[in-house]
Amino acid sequence: MRFYLTYTEEVKQALAAKSPVVALETTIISHGMPYPQNVQMARDVEQIIRDNGAVPATIGIMNGKIKIGLNDGELQEFAERGEVEKVSRRDFSYILSSGKTGATTVAATMIAADLAGISVFATGGIGGVHRGAEDSMDISADLKELAQTNVAVVCAGVKSILDIGRTLEYLETQGVPVVGYQTDEFPSFYSRESGFSVDFRTDTPEEIARMLQIKWKLNLQGGAVIANPVPLAYAMNHDKMEEVILKALHQADEQHIAGKNITPFLLNSIKQLTAGKSVETNIALIKHNAEVAAKIAVAFMKQQP
Ligand code: PSU
Ligand code: MN
């Protein structure tokens, strides 16, 4: 297993010293955001994690190796995408065996983080149950991963391109805690509301770290969703976004987009329909998630027996 993992010096040293480390995904860079905002975002997010006392480990697969931490040139490669595949659990072993390069989704990043011994991961939004899943059966592998892999994922909830109610039901069935950070309401990515509640509200990183320590000490397998709403100044109007999302879903339907292409397609439509404003909000919420994740990682390592 060790053979497939390679670390940057910064991450290797942090892990050896049991310092706090925060994992970051690459799908968000390669398939979630336009160039060059994506590479700027990736750099800024890493710096925010350092400023909050942790070490960033951006994770991806390059030429058949699992990279735990990327240098600047490597970040640039993921940002310019080219031949970068989107890698979820299903794709993971093939991308390694064929020596390819792939951007890891939430599910695949959780797998890699767990192999490397990293417990906290910051992203934008997780995948979930798609609208119409009762026919299409399109449910992101992120949810099953959260049920089985011990990594906490700090996110701004799920986009309402998904069926938020069914996503939360699925997480409940799979035993995944959905924890609100300073909120009672589960956020819907671009906006702070969704009409759904979180399972538990917490107000400090220490409380979240304590919950994770106990969960894993008791062998309660699986991760947790830490839902951190977009900062107010960047939040978009919930009802307006709903209109935009319905339009984007309609376009996807007309063009028969399905499978792993659906999420990137919808993100791009939403960007166009909001004249780029969605990207600004996306970047702001990721930065905020990085800050909160770093604080949780710091508290978690302090509490480590
Ligand atoms: N949601 C976003 N932006 C993203 C994604 C989700 O707001 O970039 C990406 C994440 O990498 C997530 C993946 O893990 O899409 C889910 O894809 P799928 O539904 O195909 O599992
Ligand atoms: Mn899917």
Q: Is residue 41 included in any domain, yes or no?
A: yes
- Residue 71: its pLDDT value, please? 98
Q: Catalytic: 254?
A: no
* Active-site choice (46, 77, 159, 295): 159
Q: Is residue 274 included in any domain, yes or no?
A: no
pTM of the model: 0.97
- Residue 82: its pLDDT value, please? 80
Number of domains in the chain: 1
ipTM of the prediction: 0.98
Q: Which residues of the chain fall short of a pLDDT of 50?
A: none
- Helices 89-97 and 141-148 pack at an angle, to 10 degrees, of 90
Residue-wise pLDDT for 30-61, tens only, equals: 999 999 999 999 999 999 999 999 999 999 99
- Residue 101: its pLDDT value, please? 97
Token duo for residue 294: 């770093």
What letter does residue 139 receive in the DSSP assignment? B
CATH code: domain of residue 172 = 3.40.1790.10
Ligand 1 is surrounded, with C-beta below 6 A, by 25, 27-28, 32, 88, 105-106, 124-125, 127, 140-142, 159, 189, 260, 263, 267
Q: Is residue 252 included in any domain, yes or no?
A: no
Contacts of 123 (CB under 8 A, 6+ apart): 24, 25, 28, 106, 109, 153, 154, 155, 286, 289
- Residue 227: its pLDDT value, please? 98
142 labelled ligand-binding: yes
Among 86, 138, 263, residue to substitute to test ligand 1 (most atoms within 8 Å of Cβ)? 263
Q: Is residue 266 included in any domain, yes or no?
A: no
The domain in which residue 129 lies consists of 2-237+282-303
Q: Catalytic: 207?
A: no
Q: Whose CA is nearest to atom 18 of ligand 1?
A: 140
Whole-number Å distance, alpha carbon 137 to ligand 2 midpoint, is: 8
Q: Is residue 246 included in any domain, yes or no?
A: no
Whole-number Å distance, alpha carbon 206 to ligand 2 midpoint, is: 34
Token duo for residue 290: 């990085």
Q: Is residue 18 included in any domain, yes or no?
A: yes
Q: Is residue 255 included in any domain, yes or no?
A: no
Q: Is residue 126 included in any domain, yes or no?
A: yes
Whole-number Å distance, alpha carbon 304 to ligand 1 midpoint, is: 31
Which atom in ligand 1 lies closest to the alpha carbon of residue 31? 8
Cα gap 286→155, rounded to integer Å: 8
H helices present in 17-163, as ranges: 27-30, 37-51, 72-79, 89-97, 106-116, 133-136, 141-148
Q: Whose CA is nearest to atom 1 of ligand 1?
A: 125
